[in-house]
Amino acid sequence: MTIAVLDTAAVANARNRDGEPREDRPKEAEKALETEEVRVGFQNGTPLLERDYTDYPTGEDILQPSASDALEAVATHEMVGTVADIGHELRADESTVETALGLHGVEPPTDGASFDVVDGDEINVPLHGTIDTHHFRTPLYEDGRLLEHLYVRCGYGIGEIRQWLKAQMNHGRDPEKARWSVTEDEIRDGLEAVGLLEATEAAGVDPANHPSLAKTRTA
């Protein structure tokens, strides 16, 4: 994947967004986020459970005994990889989800698990085309070229980058195999590491020290 010289103004604007989506992004990038597939998140596409969203237990209701089956079904769904995913689907904060999992004796998904990319996987990058994942750094969400393309050129926010990556990496994946997953925190860390977001003090990264973002890179 070849990345052209970056527009410094575009990078500055992207940094100022602090991980939020860009309003004036290309239509092709917008369309790439549209899918009829099942997606994690309350009223975000088709429900994970075989019921309407109006019949979901949500918020603190998931602590009730009657919510046990629904909670287990969401927690074990192939699209769910983190406690945060459960919270997004059931409109509950993570602490409530963790309490509910304990109350109902439901095993939590592997929190923050991001499964390795294997050679041969292909992703369809908006505004670019199909690319074999072996051209990228592993883990995928730390590849500066891909992050720059998605965040700056496509105008995706952190949540949308996560949504797009998960959809691409899990498309056609054998249901018997582990689902590829990534957290929003991991994506934010990746953006900070390559200077596309202001680095937090905890990260210990100087955003100015990223000369690789100022020149063409080819993989």
8 Å CB contact between 174 and 121: no
Q: Kindly state the average pLDDT of the residues 11-23.
A: 93
Out of 2-6, 44-48, 92-96, 166-170, pick the least confident: 2-6
More confident residue, 131 or 6: 131
Question: Residue 138: what residue type?
Answer: T
Distance between CA atoms of residues 155 and 211, nearest Å = 22
Angle between helices 68-75 and 83-90 (to 10 degrees): 130
Please report the pLDDT score of residue 107 as a whole number. Answer: 92
Q: Is it the case that residue 128 has pLDDT exceeding 50?
A: yes
Tokens 């929190």 label which residue? Answer: 111
More confident residue, 129 or 42: 129
The closest alpha carbon to 196, from 4, 59, 20, 2, belongs to 20
CB atoms within 10 A of CB 107: 9
For residue 59, give both structure tokens: 């918020």
What are the structure tokens assigned to 89, written together? 């689907």
pLDDT score of 149: 94
**pLDDT over threshold 60, residue 4:** no
Q: Are 162 and 183 in contact (CB under 8 A)?
A: yes
Which two tokens mark 48? 């994970």
